[in-house]
Amino acid sequence: MQYRSDRKGTKLSVLGYGCLRFTKENGKIDIDKTEKEIMEAIRSGVNYFDTAYVYGGSEAALGEILARNGVREQVYIATKLPHYLIKSKAGLEKCFQEQLKRLRTDHVDYYLMHMLNDVQTWQGLCAKGVDQWIREKQASGQICSIGFSYHGNSANFKELLDAYDWDFCQIQYNYLDEHTQAGKQRNSGHYHGTSAGRKISTASAGRGKAVICRSSAEADSGRVGISLAVESDRGYGGIVWYEFVGNGATERTGGIGIQGRRTDRGTDGAL
């Protein structure tokens, strides 16, 4: 496994594990199958696991598996705040404490505003005290790095990136369609984000049967970025993919491809 450092020096596996579509039986997560998949990923060097409050049962399943195997301190957890459900600072705290309980942990390594798509929404959250709350949580160590996931256009993305000192962000990106949402073209959201030296994680959605790979050349910072996506005709193949670049980064296609596996009950570990 290869690793890349984020802006704080934390070494993350180039491949991360998406936890949205764990295999289910009769509407419930197949915890034993999911445990085997997650533990195999950890043994293979994966140390980044991405979930969210609204991924039905995902946080609790991930927390149970990590606790059951005593591996919480070996991995980094990313989860997301459903800000669209939050009405007050008290509601925010209640949601966060529920997430800690589900995940069986006392801190979240990477915390995202889920589907934060424009500055106006962020400003509305700040009016509810979210920015102050974030600073308090980071000071206490309950949140290590703060970011947002994004599903809007390039113009809004660039404005949002500059609206706060984010540690990282997650965007939709697909090698078969490089211009959807934040986009890749020069002066786009993707370029703007990486040129600011932030960690960009990319999530590919609904683009068909393909193994998708993208890598970037060395940045001025001396770091190399790589991002990977895997899909099958039943969904994603269980991979989140990351890019770590700095000012002056150039890009090229290439890198390595990872094949997702399809089973009778769905894809193995899904995003």
Active site residues: 55
The letter for the amino acid at 72 is R
Task: Please give the structure tokens belonging to residue 164.
Answer: 């706060």
Cα distances from 37 to residues 41, 44, 86, 140, 237, in angstroms, run 6, 11, 33, 33, 12
**Rounded CA separation 227/244 (Å):** 9
Task: Please give the structure tokens belonging to residue 11.
Answer: 């070494």
Q: What angle do CA 236, 240, 246 make, to 5 degrees?
A: 145
Closest CA relative to residue 66, chosen from 31, 111, 25, 18: 31
**Ordered DSSP codes for 92-148:** HHHHHHHHHHHHT-S-EEEEEETT---HHHHHHHHHTTHHHHHHHHHHHTSEEEEEE
Cα distances from 116 to residues 7, 89, 139, in angstroms, run 21, 17, 23
Task: Give, to the nearest 10 degrees, the angle between helix 31-43 and helix 58-69.
Answer: 60
